[in-house]
Chains A and B, each alone.
Chain A
Amino acid sequence: MSTVDTMVRLTYLAAATCFVLGLHLMNSPARARRGNQLSAAGMVAAVVATLVLIVDAKAITATGWIVLAAGAGAGAAAGRYAARTVQMTAMPQLVSLFNAVGGGAAAVVAVQEFTRLAEPVPARVAVPTVLDVLIGAVTFTGSLVASGKLQGLLTSSPVVFTGRRALTATLSAVAVAAGVVAATGRGGALPLSALLLAALALGVVTVLPIGGADMPVVISLLNALTGTAVAMAGFVLDNSVLIVAGALVGASGTILTVLMAQAMNRSVVSIVVGGFGTGDSAGAAAGPAGAGVRTVTADDAAIQLAYASKVVIVPGYGLAAAQAQHAVQELAGLLTARGVEVTYAIHPVAGRMPGHMNVLLAEANVPYPQMRELDEANAEFPRTDVALVVGANDVTNPAARRPGNPVSGMPILDVDAARSVIVIKRSMGHGYAGIDNELYTNPKTGMLFADAKAGLTALVAGVKTLVG
């Protein structure tokens, strides 16, 4: 091993260490920024080391330098622009898009390395190549479809068509057959191309039938897959930093996938099989006043909130959809100024990706110590005077504690344990599970029928005029 080689390998080791420590620092909001910077420093080191390696090997042609610089420059500019301009509500689709290009890059890298080698390609390259192309290509198109659904370019409802299962089965069979042939390292580019095309199509037909509400699981799963694809690219190129980084991402994606699936009371398999679930505008409006429902006016609700000593706000995706984060923070600020203790109870799936609601609230200047996770929040509800539910539905349904219905066993926020409950909602429409929410007919609950933003604005006005 030459000196340069040794130095490069040591730098890769240092970069991998930076990635691990960077992720480790993310276990507290106070240190997370430093973690991201450390991880970025590791990335710069890895890239510089690779540049040194390339220059030292003297194999790269002038054209090689040009295409590399042009590609990287264009990609970096596009990524930087997208990252700087994206709205926080659009974060899931951007993460999905970055995921897509990461998976795509991993697949392309393996294809190029495979076709460059003389036949028969050794198994140590051929086998990870097959896995990389399969996973990378599925992730590429799958993430693009997910991103399109989240952006509203494609319908967020499950797309189910006749023969979908047969098509999926055929594509899978083609992918497996082509993959087995390619893994032997013979047959030229044909089996690999067949595998690539089948995998690209598989990504589309797998994600299309998945409903918008299942997106937190899908994004996490695709993230795990991209990580695995990058690790496979590391095997193909015999490059340790790719393997370590890919494995870390694979682990993080897997953990988040499992957490999200548990929080939605669904198995990962049933989500991927798809065809279930709904779009964003779930449920038909069943008219504002159902039987046994008590309505409250904004003014009454405002007085109730202003004279409480502890208020817990339960935000759901409806709040983000109505862009009401700032209105809710204004209300919380008014109440805090009156000496009311205000916290936010955030369900893991209150958004379109894991932790999405926390980011939206952080953007609206909600300090993170006020954000409570499921267990912490449930411990607080019994000593809460008023729970204010905004745009959340199924995750507050007490029916989850009983067996025999679609939400049975789902971890919920025990909103009904609070002394009184105010729900801001447009109508009695159903949530994603398609069942009545028993919380709404609870005698403790007052329904404030309004759009999340209009309702919160009315509450802010009420608190200001009536008790200010």
Chain B
Amino acid sequence: MTNLTIFLLALLVGFEVIGKVPATLHTPLMSAANAIHGVVLVGAMLIAASADTPVGYALACLAAAFAAMNVVGGYVVTGRMLQMFRRADPPARRRADGADPERPLPAAPARRADGAE
């Protein structure tokens, strides 16, 4: 009964929190959620602790491999994606652009510099 309560409340919290995520971040969101369900690794550890037959060991090993792949891969790839989301062009890039002799007036960066004065 307690577990069912926890489940329902967590579901409601999930709807509330995730409904606010902008469409821009839906892929990282899904990837992050994906990593979170890798918590089944905890379950794999618990069954490894109680296993004492060859079948039990095989199942525990399989579950641990699956879950570890899920959790590690999930967090790494989410981090990789989120790292790419930038507010503006990275400074190095802007400098390279500014140095381009073919381009007249790099308008946007110049304006930004004026604003900062």
Contact = CB atoms under 8 A, between A and B. Distances in A.
Given A106-B43, A244-B6, A371-B24, A67 B51 contact: yes
Interface string A98-123: 11011011101101110110000000
Contacts of B93: 365
Contacts of B82: 29, 32-33, 36
Of A219, A241, A244, A339, most buried by chain B (CB within 10 Å of CB) is A244
B113 interface: no
Contacts of A356: 27
Given A76-B72, A362-B84, A102 B37 contact: yes
B30 A223 contact: yes
Contacts of A371: 24
Interface residues of A, number: 123
A355 interface: yes
Nearest to B51: A64
A19 B17 CA distance: 11
A346 to B, nearest CB: 7
Contacts of B36: 19, 22-23, 39, 43, 245, 248-249
B32 A23 contact: yes
Contacts of B34: 95, 98-99, 102, 223, 226, 249
A84 interface: yes
B95 interface: no
Interface string A62-104: 0111011011111110111011101010010011001101101
Contacts of B52: 61, 64
Contacts of B22: 27-29, 373
Contact of B81 (A348, A354, A359): A359
Given A23-B32, A102-B34, A109 B47 contact: yes
Contact of A250 (B6, B11, B104, B108): B11
Contact of B30 (A219, A238, A333, A464): A219
A130 interface: no
Given A33-B83, A68-B44, A247 B49 contact: no
A243 interface: yes
Interface in B36-76: 36-52, 55-76
Nearest to B59: A112
B107 to A, nearest CB: 5
B75 A101 contact: no
A358 B55 CA distance: 45
Interface string B76-104: 11111111111111100100010000111
B3 A246 contact: no
B116 interface: no
A230 to B, nearest CB: 5
Given A68-B45, A112-B47, A241-B39, A75 B33 contact: no
Interface string A1-31: 0000000000000011001101110111110
Contacts of A244: 6-7, 10
Given A75-B72, A79-B68, A105 B89 contact: no
B115 interface: no
Contacts of B15: 251, 254-255
A318 interface: no
Interface string A31-73: 0110111011001001100110110010111011101101111
A367 interface: yes
Best-buried of A37, A108, A116, A238 by chain B (most CB within 10 Å): A108
Contacts of A70: 61, 64
Contact of B48 (A30, A60, A256): A60
B41 to A, nearest CB: 6
For B11, B69, B89, which residue has the most chain A Cβ atoms within 10 angstroms?
A: B69
Most chain A CB within a 10 A radius of its CB, from B72, B80, B104: B72
A234 interface: yes
A231 interface: yes
Interface in A441-468: 464, 468
B66 A108 contact: yes
A253 interface: yes
A411 B43 CA distance: 42
B17 to A, nearest CB: 5
Interface of A: 15-16, 19-20, 22-24, 26-30, 32-33, 35-37, 39-40, 43, 46-47, 50-51, 53-54, 57, 59-61, 63-65, 67-68, 70-76, 78-80, 82-84, 86, 88, 91, 94-95, 98-99, 101-102, 104-106, 108-109, 111-113, 115-116, 219-220, 223, 226-227, 230-231, 233-235, 237-256, 259, 333, 336-339, 346, 348, 351, 353-356, 358-359, 362-363, 365, 367-369, 371, 373-374, 464, 468
29 contacts: A23-B32, A29-B22, A32-B85, A36-B32, A40-B79, A43-B38, A60-B49, A64-B52, A68-B64, A72-B44, A91-B77, A109-B46, A109-B63, A112-B51, A116-B50, A230-B43, A233-B43, A243-B6, A245-B37, A247-B13, A251-B11, A251-B14, A256-B29, A353-B30, A355-B23, A358-B24, A363-B84, A464-B102, A468-B103
Q: Identify the 8 closest CB pairs spanning chains A and B, nearest first.
A: A251-B14, A79-B73, A355-B26, A71-B64, A75-B68, A247-B10, A354-B26, A75-B65
